[in-house]
Amino acid sequence: MKRLFIVDYGSQYTFLLARRFRSAAGGGVFCEIISPDQLVSVNSANCSGVVFSGGPQTVGVVSIEELRVIRDPNIPILGVCYGLFKKTIFQVALTDD
């Protein structure tokens, strides 16, 4: 079974997101909450999607693993709050020549 990874940047609602995804899919989704350091294990073969959750950090720090996941066209991504901002900044940086 493929998994939905939720990257936890310190948000207060990460567990709520996981519970909502599970209930919306009728229990057919396995959600795994991971830290940004654990993105190494994410690839399109074992992943049905990635959610970048919110957090108190600033977007100034760029992680190679975050860029790898965002650039993979086979991994759907949802950004929530800080996660959306970070995803957008990375995509603009990757397409800006």
Query: Where exactly are the structural domains of the chain?
Result: 3-95
pTM: 0.76
Instruction: Examine the pLDDT at 62 and tell me if it is beyond 70.
Output: no
Is the distance from CB of 77 to CB of 52 less than 8 angstroms? yes
- pLDDT given for residue 43 in this prediction: 78
- pLDDT given for residue 33 in this prediction: 92
| Mean pLDDT for the stretch of residues 42-55 | 82
| Mean pLDDT for the stretch of residues 73-94 | 72
Instruction: From 75, 14, 79, select the one nearest 46 (Cα to Cα).
Output: 75
Instruction: From 82, 33, 77, select the one nearest 54 (Cα to Cα).
Output: 82
Superfamily of domain 3-95: Class I glutamine amidotransferase (GATase) domain (3.40.50.880)
